Amino acid sequence: MFKRNMKTNIIVTVFILCSFVCSTAIAEDSIKLYQVSSGVLKFDKGWLTAMRDVGKILEFPVAMYIIDHPRGLLLYDTGMNAAVSDGKCESYWGKGLCSAFMPIQRRDQVIDKWLEKFGYSVNDVKYVVTSHMHLDHAGNMEMFPKAVHVLQKAELKAAWWPEKFQRAAFVLKDYDNARDFNYLQLDGDFDLFGDGSVVVLDTKGHTQGHQSLMVKLKNTGTLFLAGDAVYTPENEAGVIPGITWNTYESMKSIDRLKMLRDSHQGSIWYSHGIDQYAEHKHDTYYD
Ligand SMILES: [Zn+2]
């Protein structure tokens, strides 16, 4: 009797362990990640690297991600609003923002078109994780009224009533019809599928509720999609980011991402890294 119970216990334990370990392995095995860009923004590099390269006007990619997880399709950022496409910036952002950021976005670079290109539709998207609510990251969240929108609660509050000195980069029109969407309002980190493969990381500093995303891929390894927590390789190397809500918190978040990068032997992918973006593939997925 005792022996049979022992045997049953061992089988149950192995089953429980396997269901955790195996499900993690299966998830990692089949995740696909696409990195795409919502066009470019043209501005002074000094905005990203304080006291470094001030006066250098460059074209920066606006990275966003489509992640196909076995338990749901998710996006990390939705780029610049579709209305900004094809030279029509002023009709949506207004003259001031258009001359400050000088966006160049073709309509086929908007997130819905990227989804179509890879065989998905906007209705397939289950989760929209938005790094923060700035105009080049949250521009098309209203395209996804059926998705769960994963955001830090602090960011939602800041976006609806930004600090006066930060107000310029928030475009209320991007989300003023999204008040009744389904939000997962976070206050810190969150393991999105409970298997460790896609984890939201609190990286406040650039804005009050900025969040990055850790994604574990079988062949590519562990990626830290930084959003604007780390704009460029200079920030990763220690140069203070130019535009921040709180520089102290921002530097703490960069240190946190670097620590995780090392402990997971992963790499940080920037939101606006010119050379890194050019080196990556964008017509197919990473796995
Ligand atoms: Zn930003």
DSSP 232: S
Q: Which amino acid is at 96?
A: G
Q: How far is the CA of 206 from the centre of ligand 1 (A)?
A: 7
Question: Kind and range of the H or E element at 234?
Answer: helix 233-236
Residue pair 63/103 in contact (Cβ under 8 Å)? The answer is no
Cα 132 to ligand 1 centroid, rounded to whole Å:
7
pLDDT at 232 exceeding the cut of 70 = yes
pTM for this model (two decimals): 0.90
Question: 162 CA distance to ligand 1 centroid (A)?
Answer: 13
What's the confidence (pLDDT) of residue 12? 55
What pLDDT was estimated at residue 16?
54
Adjacent-strand bridge partners of 59: 42
From the list 82, 98, 1, 87, the residue with the least C-alpha distance to 38 is 82
DSSP 167-185: GGG--GGGTTT-TTSEEEE
**78 Cα–ligand 1 center, Å:** 13
For the stretch 143-199, pLDDT in tens is 999 999 999 999 999 999 999 988 989 999 999 999 999 999 999 999 999 999 999
Q: Which CATH number fits domain 31-279: 3.40.190.120, 1.10.8.50, 3.60.15.10, 3.40.190.10?
A: 3.60.15.10
pLDDT tens-digit readout, 185-211: 999 999 999 999 999 999 999 999 999
Residue spans of the domains in the chain: they are 31-279
| Span from the CA of 134 to the centroid of ligand 1 (angstroms) | 5
Contact residues for 25 (Cβ-Cβ < 8 A; gap 6+): none
**What spacing in Å lies between the alpha carbon of 228 and ligand 1's midpoint?**
5
